[in-house]
Homo-oligomer: A and B are copies of this chain.
């Protein structure tokens, strides 16, 4: 049994709480939330604390707050020599203050409050400052999934950068697709199977092999017509830049 307390009440904390509660080998001890209302429907009243000084000892303290608050929250944990991990893709492990037992439990996935996340499909990128704590963190991750990776801070930061491209930027391209549909009175639903297949395809093909379209086949007349059709200068610029990038690849 691993005893865990969570510090935070945002999207990541929300999904951690939901999934930890379902796990037999995990005891979710306390949730520290500055705004307890955000988690009151998830955990029992007496497990929620809004004063960090009410924290009890636990095997792992998981800080799931905004990047800039990690240092301050970790410094406020009143337990001596606690094992404290954060869940950030970008902050170094060293951002954790006030203990020599530091770690990172980075779940490489996108979280929204309104959408369940299957924890068994998440890659867990873990790091810890000492071997025993690493083993404990690994045990925690393995209780959800086999996709557990030992990842250094440098690697994690590069993974996070890659994730911005394949997740945040991709989602913005979906937004542009939706806007173009709306302008032309076409339901956005019509693009959804294509979006899914695009993501499915690279589960079996490398993205380089999977590349198709006017840029890849240097179809200048289509590219020209598309650029003319795009009246929005921002969309035009994105079209031109990514088309060039595909062609130089």
Interface residues of A (CB under 8 A from B): 67-68, 90, 108-112, 114-115, 117, 121-123, 125, 147, 149, 151, 154-155, 157-159, 161-178, 180-181, 183-186, 188-216, 219, 221-222, 225-226, 229-230, 234, 237-239, 241-242, 244-246, 248-249
Contacts and interface: CB of A to CB of B under 8 A. Distances in A.
Nearest to A145: B193
Given A121-B193, A234-B245, A186 B109 contact: no
Given A67-B219, A169-B173, A178-B206, A108 B190 contact: yes
A95 to B, nearest CB: 12
Given A109-B197, A158-B186, A172-B246, A226 B164 contact: yes
29 contacts: A108-B190, A108-B191, A109-B197, A110-B194, A110-B201, A112-B209, A115-B205, A121-B197, A123-B190, A147-B193, A158-B180, A158-B183, A158-B186, A159-B186, A161-B229, A162-B191, A163-B177, A166-B198, A168-B215, A168-B246, A169-B173, A169-B239, A170-B198, A171-B210, A172-B242, A178-B206, A196-B200, A199-B200, A238-B241
